[in-house]
Structure 1
Amino acid sequence: MTANEMPPMATPRVAAGALFFDNDGRVLLVRPSYKKHWDIPGGYVEPGESPRAACIREIEEELGLNTAIGPMVVLDWAPAEHEGDKLLLIFDAGSLTTEQEQAIRFADGELTEWRYVAADDLERYGPPRLTRRLRAAIAARNSGRAVYAEHGNVL
């Protein structure tokens, strides 16, 4: 089969985000300057880069932190109308120490603030599918098992 005979294939954008917690189990959200809603630290994977490496890079670029991350907790198929096919991965980033919190710097200017938010309050900060994705990530982290989701709904 030649390249011209190949059936069409999905070429999704891939993004990776970090799920940080505080000691009360609240999730760290950041406010991007270019979005109308809050999100978790992270961003798109660059060509040749793994999602895990992209997550670590984005944490450093956005928050000024050099930190390790744990396992993937969610893989979400989340195409968006004006963005096309997307695969979104969330990695467990554990908890930040007080020193790390104090060291947060919005190094690249993409973010304007950060805060911890309780799982029950997530819908006030982002669209429903982001809320579903984050709640799925929290449940996956608590169960110790990664999950697959579509539009934030675990299947």
Structure 2
Amino acid sequence: MAPNAHEAKMAHPRMAAGALFFDAAGRVLMVEPSYKDYWEIPGGYVEVGESPLHAAIREVQEELGITPPIGRLLAVDWAPNEAEGDKVLYLFDGGQLTKDDLRAITLQPEELKSFEFVSPAQIAERTIPRLARRILAAAEARNEAAPVYLEHGQKPGSEAA
């Protein structure tokens, strides 16, 4: 096979990374973007030459104005869509935010309107189904010894929610 033909068959996915932050009750921090009609988690696209972990750290600092330690990988989700093509998303454990972290949050004004800790039961009400599945699977993986691999927010072979 010619090198160019081989290159043409290789995936060139967009990558995004985010962090899940928790409160003492196990609720997840979600942010309300000004440019979407559903809630998100802190995070964004990985830039050229940047690792997913460093993208998550950068995005948290840009969006929330804080630099808490970002921990281990919780989930990798292969979630292509028609508009963006192949896409791989990484979710990292941001842990439980301290009171000092919470007081220091300064939302990126051109992107975010508000933030709130949301219970697992409320996540599906706030966001789109594939993101809700991804967040819930990653939160569950936080209690496990290993990250979870997902496709469209679900473990392969599981039924659609």
TM range (shorter): over 0.9
* 2:87 is the alignment partner of 1:97: no
**Counterpart contact for 1:15–1:45, Cα < 8 Å:** yes
CA contact (8 A) 1:62 1:109 kept: no
SS of equivalent to 2:91: strand
Percent sequence identity over aligned pairs: 52
Q: Which residue of 2 aligns with 1:5?
A: 5
Name the structure 2 match of 1:71: 72
1:17 Cα offset (Å): 0.5
Q: Matches of 2:34 and 2:11 in 1, distance apart?
A: 30
* Cα distance in 2, alignment partners of residues 16 and 138 from structure 1: 15
Q: Specify the SS of the correspondent of 1:29.
A: strand
Counterpart of 1:133 in structure 2 is 134
Following the alignment from structure 2 to structure 1, what is the Cα–Cα distance between the partners of residues 13 and 56?
A: 17
Runs of 4+, deviation exceeding 6 Å: none
Are the aligned partners of 1:30 and 1:41 in contact in 2 as well (CA < 8 Å)?
yes
CA deviations 1:82-119 (Å, max 9, x no partner) are 11110000000001111111111013521110000000
Deviations 1:47-105 (CA, angstroms, capped at 9, x unpaired): 00000000000000000001210000000000112111100000000011111111110
Give the Cα separation in 1 of the matches to 2:26 and 2:120. Answer: 8
When normalised by structure 1's length, the TM-score is: 0.95
Aligned-pair CA distance for 1:2: 4.3
* 1:30 equivalent in alignment to 2:31: yes
RMSD: 1.2
Whether the aligned pair in 2 keeps the contact of 1:74 and 1:140 (CA below 8 Å) is yes
Quick one: distance in 1 between partners of 2:113 and 2:89? Answer: 23
TM-score under structure 2 normalisation?
Answer: 0.92
Q: 3-state SS of the aligned residue for 1:142?
A: coil
Q: Distance in 1 between matches of 2:52 and 2:58?
A: 10
- Equivalent residues of 2:77, 2:134 under 8 A apart: yes
How many residues in Structure 1 have an aligned counterpart in Structure 2? 155
| 1:16 to 2:25 alignment | no
Q: Kindly indicate whether the alpha-carbon contact (under 8 Å) linking 2:29 and 2:41 is maintained by their aligned counterparts in 1.
A: yes
1:117 aligns with 2:125: no
How far is 1:36 from its partner? 1.1
